[in-house]
Amino acid sequence: MSETDESRILILDFGSQYTMLIARRIREQRVYCEIHPYDMSMEDIRSWKPRGIILSGGPSSVHDEGAPKIDTGLFEYGVPVLGICYGMQLMALLLGGEVEKSNRREYGRAVLEIGGSELFHGFKRKEEIPVWMSHGDRVAKPPEGFGAIARSVNSPCAAMADSERNLFGVQFHPEVVHTPRGEEILSNFLFRICGVRPTWTTHSFVERTIRDVRQKVGDKGIICGLSGGVDSSVTAVLVHRAVGDKLTCIFVDNGVLRKGEAEGVIRLFRDHYKINLKAVDARERFLSKLGGVDDPEEKRRVIGKEFIAVFEEEASKLKGVEYLAQGTLYPDVIESISFKGPSAKIKSHHNVGGLPENMNLRLVEPLRELFKDEVRAVGAELGLSRRILYRHPFPGPGLAVRILGQVTVERVKVLQNADVIVEEEVRGAGIYEELWQCFAVLLPVKSVGVMGDERTYENAVAIRAVTSMDGMTADWAPLPADLLMRISNRIINEVEGVNRVVYDISSKPPATIEWE
């Protein structure tokens, strides 16, 4: 996964909900790309040296007051440009074409009739293909020098091209799965039109990153907050590969981790990877702070604040430390920038517990170019096991937000014992990696039951299992009945204090994946 000047694609974002998908599709073809705001200056664009530029879709009409615009010099820069949806309409308007409100808006599946163009290399002329539309405006008249290269029932100019200047526009979204041959269209733009090379490989990324981290850190010390999750684990092993004993990892046991989590992290990173690891047993400290707290947001605040305090205390004991390694990923980088439109999000970087700037440490973020699946590929290149790389997401506040109501030592123990049974059974059924998440939730209710000849009044546990591509939306997973039966029987028989198990069949939306 190394980027070179010969293989760089720039995506300018106008607020489309699909912009990140464009980047994903390009990365999947081993081409390096980055997303930047639509108002990136021409000076910065020239400095970035892209081999091609993609203008994303967006929620605005080009005729709206304050609609996002770009410098028309971009079209004279001399590299191929592909406008998608709003990007096509904006290109048409700025270059002298006509864009009008469509009499009939197109949202969803449409059929495209293909004309001749290098963008549709490999397609037959007048071939009809399904595509995904999402627009209210349409190009009524292409600019001078452009010709229509595809049409739909509602859009006589559903794609356009100026082959002399290598300027292209498509009204549909080639990046979504609902456009089955969209990958071919993007591939034609990348390789036939822009002439980039597929050099974005895992091996080259690892080599380059090790070299860069080693050069940046030099002989100074660097610390890393290690949780045992995918991102922090890959970060720790990658940085350790670069700087060796100059790295110290700090692992904080906050008392609301999964059963055996602390011992597993210590054993793996201290004993197997030989990384300097400072393990802090802060269970009593965290649980005392959580005493009497049942509001989920207050739980998060208490745990986050206490984590920062513990981390600062431990970091201050280390000498010569000038750097902090964090597992920031590319989606975090993208979302930390404000874009125009409903996809705009301002989100602080996904750092170690939200560490404060007054720690006066310089950041090292070796994964900031990568999506989650690319992080897993890097981890595999570094030799991390699938068990680590394909672990289900685990919330920062840990089991505290899976214990509805107050968090106590006793309730943590109940949930830990129930949760480990869920994971064991799901792994044993061979479907763990098919699920996005699967876990137990301790409910703040008790119910009547019968065990032997005795009446019981004990806790209820909910099982949550979902499938998802990215966690933004999720469907409840229809786990096999015999698997649910084994999970329920084991929890009720083996976990003291539980006499009822229920299964959550809510999707996201309207529910969330976590209960708190």
Distance CA 52, CA 60 (A): 24
Examine the residue annotation and report whether 85 is marked as an active-site residue of this protein.
Answer: yes
Distance CA 50, CA 196 (A): 10
Catalytic residue among 175, 369, 374, 425: 175
Distance CA 111, CA 132 (A): 9
DSSP 3-state percent helix, strand, coil across the chain (nearest 5): 35, 25, 40
Distance CA 158, CA 160 (A): 7
Examine the residue annotation and report whether 173 is marked as an active-site residue of this protein.
Answer: yes
Distance CA 459, CA 434 (A): 29
Residue pair 55/82 in contact (Cβ under 8 Å)? The answer is: yes
Looking at residue 58, its amino acid is: G
Dihedral Cα 231, 233, 234, 236, nearest 10 deg: 120
Distance CA 85, CA 158 (A): 9
Catalytic residue among 3, 33, 36, 85: 85
What totals of helices (H) and strands (E) does the chain contain, helices first?
14, 18
Distance CA 338, CA 488 (A): 46
For residue 493, give Cα distances in angstroms to 35, 220, 408, 452, 460.
52, 53, 22, 11, 13
**Token pair listed for 439:** 């876990």
The DSSP line for 290-340 is: TTT---HHHHHHHHHHHHHHHHHHHHHTSSSEEEEE----HHHHHHTS--S
Tell me the β-bridge partners of 35: 11
Distance CA 356, CA 136 (A): 45
Contacts of residue 120, Cβ cutoff 8 Å, sequence gap at least 6: 114, 149, 150, 159, 185, 188
Catalytic residue among 173, 240, 349, 350: 173
Cis status, amide bond into 50, omega within 30 of 0: no
Residue pair 36/42 in contact (Cβ under 8 Å)? The answer is: no
Q: Is 54 helix (H, G, I), strand (E, B) or coil?
A: strand
Q: Is 406 helix (H, G, I), strand (E, B) or coil?
A: coil
The DSSP line for 418-452 is: HHHHHHHHHHHTT-GGG-SEEEEEEEEEEEEEEET
**What are phi and psi for residue 236, nearest 5 degrees?**
-60, -45
- Annotated catalytic residues are 85, 173, 175
